[in-house]
Amino acid sequence: MKNPLTRLLRIFLKDTASSSIQIISEKSWKISILHLLALIFIFAGNVLIARFYGTEVYGLYSLIFNWLSILSLFAQIGMDDYHIATIPGLHIREEYGSIKKILRISIVGILIASVIVILAFYLSINLIFIPGLSNHSGVFAVALWLIILFALTSNLGSFLRGYGVIVKSQLAEKIIRPLIFLILLCFVYFGYPAMKGINILLLITGISLTFGIAYLAWVIRNCINPHPENPSASIKDLNFGRNKYYLLISALYLLTSRLDILSLGSFANVTEVGYYNVALKMADIVAYPTVIMNIVMPVFLSKHHHLEDRKEILYLIQNGSRATLAGCGLLFIAAIIGGKWMMGLYGQNFQTAFIPMLILCVSHLTTAFFGPVAIFFIVSGREKRATFCMLANVITTGICCYFFIPAWGATGAALASFAGYLVFNLLIVYSFQSFEKAVITPFRIFGKN
């Protein structure tokens, strides 16, 4: 019996009889349910933070959370993309010794990198006055330890995705962590009303992350322990040198996705940052089909790259583009109709970020149109070109933030984000045409033969 997503995909996709498409649709359906539940939990948590502690605390928590996301990415040292690009091939060849070796090396490397990142950032904001950061150095001293937990969560989740355990890899981040956070938030607020402020929010965040890590470790143990630890490849053969590009790509991606709100924090007060953060979260709802496709698709693109099945790769990218564009388009219409009302749930003043939210939604539609081309570059050994395109994105966004935000505030930040993503997508499509002699659109593949 086909699930509802498979039936819906038949309207938009070609080759729905393909085994890869069927597996993708099945996993996408399950992940969609997880993301829907996560959306409810996260939305409720953010609304409660704003209602319980006020817009100033919510804005400060948003600022710190975004910086922790960026810093934890550096602590991951590129292992998230490395897992996706490498483990599928090792799994096909049943090289379980190498897989286990990669897991051990990644955990040790991330722990060391996390300590270095924490010390470097803390010393930076204390030795050099950085507006918007140094004046919150005391809070950062409490929050920075969360970098270790964020990095480990991402590493273990990416390892499971590369291993093919996609749905379970999402449970920790999408269900366990936000649900535990929501439960603890309500428990502390109603049970211990005297415990207020940003520090208690950071403690709750750390506890919820720890529960997620424990679950991921349990799943990994059950997946890899039954297999014999056959002779593993040498560290040289595992080619960890690619990680510098994976790290740079991930850092640039997260930076460009947060550069708008971080720049806004330098030009505006934390209250406006809080308003814009709600606009980002609302726009992220429109991007959920793309997010889901980006979770499921990389493993299959990596697998077919190892199998040298070019035709299947082209159709996977086209079908991914079709599905995400259709899904994002429908959610964009819903955002236009009900977005302002939903923003009002945070507080009446939050509705001022409605226009920036619409601009951010258009950015996501642009990315959905061009499909998961960038993912193919990362898993096919062309990470240098993907790095160049992402760097162009960051530079464009940064320049536009410098000129747009002082003039138009949050709207300028959204326009800067749109400009950066447009440049990135145009460059990545041009690069794909140069390598593969094909241009993929949701409706047709040009030059595929």
DSSP states of 114-126 as a string? Answer: HHHHHHHHHHHHH
Angle between helices 146-163 and 288-306 (to 10 degrees): 50
Q: Is 445 helix (H, G, I), strand (E, B) or coil?
A: strand
How far the first Cα of the chain sits from its last, in Å, is 35
Question: Averaged over 283-309, what is the pLDDT?
Answer: 83
Q: How many CB atoms lie within 10 A of CB 385?
A: 18
- Is residue 413 over pLDDT 90? yes
Residue 10: predicted pLDDT: 52
Question: Averaged over 268-286, what is the pLDDT?
Answer: 84
HSE at residue 111, side-chain half, CA atoms within 13 A, is: 5
- Is residue 426 over pLDDT 90? yes
- Is residue 375 over pLDDT 90? no
Alpha-carbon distance of 32 to 449, in angstroms, equals 34
- Is residue 406 over pLDDT 70? yes
Question: Averaged over 214-230, what is the pLDDT?
Answer: 83
Residue 45: predicted pLDDT: 83
Quickly state the pLDDT bin for 60 (edges 50, 70, 90). confident
Question: Averaged over 229-246, what is the pLDDT?
Answer: 69
Q: How many CB atoms lie within 10 A of CB 19?
A: 9
Which of 52-61, 161-170, 222-231 is the least confident region? 222-231
Number of H helices, E strands in the chain: 17, 2
Positive or negative: CA dihedral 390, 391, 396, 397? positive
Sequence-separated (6 or more) residues with CB below 8 Å from residue 99? 87, 90, 91, 163, 224
Q: How many CB atoms lie within 10 A of CB 36?
A: 12
Residue 237: predicted pLDDT: 61
Alpha-carbon distance of 415 to 110, in angstroms, equals 35
Alpha-carbon distance of 336 to 83, in angstroms, equals 38
pTM of the model: 0.75
- Is residue 53 over pLDDT 90? no
Question: Averaged over 57-63, what is the pLDDT?
Answer: 82
Question: Averaged over 168-176, what is the pLDDT?
Answer: 86
* 94 φ/ψ sector (left φ>0, alpha ψ -120 to 50, else beta): left
Please state, for a pLDDT cut of 90, what percent of the chain lies above it. 25
Residue 59: predicted pLDDT: 81
Question: Averaged over 144-173, what is the pLDDT?
Answer: 89
Question: Averaged over 167-185, what is the pLDDT?
Answer: 87
Whether 24 and 160 have beta carbons less than 8 Å apart is answered as no
Q: Is 446 helix (H, G, I), strand (E, B) or coil?
A: strand
- Is residue 173 over pLDDT 50? yes
Q: What angle do CA 224, 374, 300 make, to 5 degrees?
A: 35
